[in-house]
Structure 1
């Protein structure tokens, strides 16, 4: 039996002079949630469209469980995807929308009720979807992805439009799908949502993968050599540490993160200036911090040439 995976191999896709995806390779493996992240224009949407057979690559290939999408015998039962929550006729009910999809794949009628219950749309299932909120359309798109009970799933910004309760539900759903042995790819701009869900990350920049690693390894690579401290005399601490060549980030009213000096040297520098401090130790960045660090040079559109928030360099 072929393992449930997504394999992207040497993928290239151009739109005129623009290289949307450039020699991209990565694998989404079963039993884990893989986060798919990068700045706007990095190539995420193009890659997902190629995987789903909606765009044809100029070179390379994207395989679902070892085969291109076009060669899957019953695609809905091999891979489910939420790419566009608005991909439903506004005059059609959720039930009817799912019914015609189920019919194309030879799925039983009961499966429609099962996925509507799973996403919490049973009470509004017969209402025209044109009156749905963004969050309700998101839930319908998730129901479509789950309809064929596929072993491979793609979700593009799945928490967009969901309220806090819906976001919590989505986290649990993603974790449960991976725990069942499915391969799950999730594209998101919300690092805080991925941090509690994703096991692995593929980070894109200008169509290329700049990181393909576990979440823990990514955070550790950014944390290495940094220390964190708390002090009531923040400005004096900043002056003392930057004078020694350290890069210091303000991370709170009384907290600083220091790069470029070991903890022992930080403590000595503050003692020499009689600056009291506490909780001096290794810094463990959030996933959002780690992502911002490695993708800082990859942002295509910036509002202004500003320093990294809170950062003071020598």
Structure 2
């Protein structure tokens, strides 16, 4: 289990962390998301003891990471897939890490196979693609068979097959009872992978909840009604009279709030308004994320880019 409590960190005049607090529970994948400058990387560096906080604590299994003996057996991490000696083979890269933790060589071969790298184990890692380096980083994180893992942007550089593998792998690690923290900007992948999400902004936690609860809140009880364009105004009047708020979103479509789908059907049927389709709005994690972080983005373009033809 990873527990972050009240972390504060300044770099000169910049406040990177301003009371960051959350926990990563065993048996689930926790997504860690937020705009650039939200404090995600600094938080992960503090957890690993690479940066010292000005206040607060970050504990792995109840202890600071720097006090752990054989730390890879407590927390496996991947912050930078390029952090390797390029002339060293994939197997030798893992072998020296294993020796540093008192782990046998057979463990290296086990994680190489689990990461799908057994066929390239004796190739120099410097020639690997980013996706293959990500797999090597995952193998390194798993060397000590740790109960907790922390991965920063593990989907980067992955081809479609690799993304499917990563998604299934992360779910499998959580199913084994491990606590898994995954930072990513790929909301669609986290939506299909994570059970829980921590949304950060300006060094603080904006939301700490399950994916299901966040999507339900983002949907906000909206109902989409599709009907012929001539009936849109009539339908809006009928729904407004029934206590709903109906807004035209495009030609022949209304977005309705204030009534569940069944009540919308009843109101339109009772008013004699024909419709083609009624569906409950299904929010995406990206939609929920953008809404939550609307005021937490530090770097935003003020004008649209110019296109040269």
Q: TM-score range by the shorter chain?
A: 0.7 to 0.9
SS at 1:212 equivalent: strand
Report how far residue 31 of structure 1 moved: 0.6
Q: For residues 165 and 197 of structure 2, what CA distance do their matches in structure 1 show?
A: 21
Distance 1:127 1:34, change over 3 A: same
Distance 1:249 1:194, change over 3 A: farther
Corresponding residue of 1:93:
89
Corresponding residue of 1:223:
219
Pick one of 189, 192, 206 that aligns with 1:196: 192
Corresponding residue of 1:280:
278
Any stretches of 5+ residues in structure 2 without a counterpart? Answer: 305-309
In terms of mean alpha carbon deviation, does 125-134 or 65-74 score higher? 125-134
Pick one of 207, 210, 216 that aligns with 1:214: 210
Pick one of 85, 101, 106 that aligns with 1:110: 106
The equivalences for 1:1-314 within 5 A come to: 5-231=1-227, 233=229, 257-259=255-257, 276-304=274-302
**What's the CA shift string for 1:12-52, capped at 9, x where partnerless?**
01111111110011110101111101111111000001001
Report how far residue 226 of structure 1 moved: 1.4
Report how far residue 282 of structure 1 moved: 2.7
Corresponding residue of 1:309:
none
Distance 1:303 1:270, change over 3 A: farther
Distance 1:63 1:221, change over 3 A: same
Report how far residue 301 of structure 1 moved: 1.9
Report how far residue 277 of structure 1 moved: 3.0
Distance 1:82 1:279, change over 3 A: same
Any stretches of 5+ residues in structure 1 without a counterpart? Answer: 307-314
**What's the CA shift string for 1:168-202, capped at 9, x where partnerless?**
11111111111111000011111111112111110
Q: For residues 200 and 131 of structure 2, what CA distance do their matches in structure 1 show?
A: 27
Cα pair 2:231 2:273 within 8 Å, conserved: no
Distance 1:278 1:50, change over 3 A: same
Distance 1:80 1:232, change over 3 A: farther
Report how far residue 67 of structure 1 moved: 0.3
Report how far residue 302 of structure 1 moved: 2.1
Distance 1:156 1:232, change over 3 A: farther
**What's the CA shift string for 1:194-214, capped at 9, x where partnerless?**
112111110001111010011
Distance 1:236 1:133, change over 3 A: same
Report how far residue 233 of structure 1 moved: 3.2
Q: How many residue pairs are counted as aligned between the two chains? A: 298
**What's the CA shift string for 1:106-161, capped at 9, x where partnerless?**
00000111111111111111111111111111111111111111000001111111
Q: For residues 256 and 110 of structure 1, what CA distance do their matches in structure 2 show?
A: 61
**What's the CA shift string for 1:70-125, capped at 9, x where partnerless?**
11111011000110000001111111110110000000000111111111111111
Distance 1:246 1:302, change over 3 A: farther
